[in-house]
C-alpha cells in the first residue's frame, strides 16, 4: 500500500511539473513586448534598427548614446 501511495504521488508531481513547464514555455513565447527585428551598421557608432513594440514596427536611428525615432512603419503586415 505504501508503494502505491508513493507511486501516485510521484506520478502526480510529474504531471504537475510537465503542466507548469508547458505553461511557462507558452507564456514566454509571446510575452515580450519589445523585439529586435533587424539592425544595420552605418559606420562610426551609427545604426539603423527596426524594433517591434506591441506589434508596431519602429525604425530607430542610434548614434553614440542617442536614440531617435526615424519612422513608424506600422504593424507586422504593413
Average pLDDT over residues 45-67: 91
Q: Is 49 helix (H, G, I), strand (E, B) or coil?
A: strand
pLDDT of residue 54: 85
Q: E-assigned strands of the chain? A: 34-43, 46-53, 56-63, 66-75
Q: Is the sign of the CA dihedral 37, 39, 58, 53 positive or negative?
A: positive
pLDDT of residue 61: 93
Q: Could you read off the pLDDT of 1-54 as tens digits, one per residue? A: 576 666 666 665 665 666 666 666 555 555 678 889 999 999 998 999 999 988
pLDDT of residue 47: 92
Amino acid at each position: 500500500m505504501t508503494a502505491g501511495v508513493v507511486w501516485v504521488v510521484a506520478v502526480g508531481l510529474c504531471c504537475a511539473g510537465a503542466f507548469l513547464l508547458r505553461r511557462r514555455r507558452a507564456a514566454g513565447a509571446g510575452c515580450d513586448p519589445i523585439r529586435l527585428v533587424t539592425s544595420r551598421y552605418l559606420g562610426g557608432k551609427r545604426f539603423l534598427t527596426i524594433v517591434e513594440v506591441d506589434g508596431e514596427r519602429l525604425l530607430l536611428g542610434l548614434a553614440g548614446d542617442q536614440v531617435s525615432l526615424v519612422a513608424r512603419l506600422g504593424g507586422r503586415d504593413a
